[in-house]
Structures are given as C-alpha cells and as structure tokens.
Amino acid sequence: MTNNEDVIKALHCMTDAAYKGMKDTIPMLAKKGRASYLGERSIGHQDPGATSSYLILKTLLETIESRHKSK
C-alpha cells in the first residue's frame, strides 16, 4: 500500500464514521446552538454541524480519490 492509499483508506473510515454520527443525531435532543432553543421539537432533525462536517470529509475524500486515479 502506498502512502496515498493509506490516506485514502483513513479518509474512508473517517467519512463512514462522520456519516454514522450525522445520522445518529436525528433522534437526539439538541442541547447546544440554535436548535437548543427548540427543546423537544429539535428531536427528529439532523444536526447541521454534523452534516457539514460529513460533507467536508466526503468532498475531501472524493477530491483526493479523483486526483489519485488520474495519476
């Protein structure tokens, strides 16, 4: 495995964990941020911070994979 493949494998693990974490926020009661003002009504909504973190990692992974394949 090359160093680039190690990075890609690590990013896959990170992206998978971020996706799971993002989905796991849906049944949670928000305790911080704007959503905390909603109280019980925040339950059933995906956390926007978790969503943006997942999207950043996913985009980074896709970019690195596409550049690695084009070499």
What is this structure's pTM? Answer: 0.87
Residue 1 has pLDDT above 70, yes or no: no
Residue 66 has pLDDT above 60, yes or no: yes
Single out the residue of 33, 52, 35 nearest to residue 43, CA to CA.
35
In the chain, what percentage of residues exceed pLDDT 90?
Answer: 85
Single out the residue of 58, 53, 63, 44 nearest to residue 22, CA to CA.
53
Distance (Å, whole) CA 33 – CA 59? 25
Distance (Å, whole) CA 33 – CA 65? 34
Mean of the per-residue pLDDT values for the chain?
94
* CB neighbours of residue 3 within 10 Å: 7
pLDDT tens readout for residues 19-52: 999 999 999 999 999 999 999 999 999 999 999 9
Domain limits of the chain? Answer: 3-69
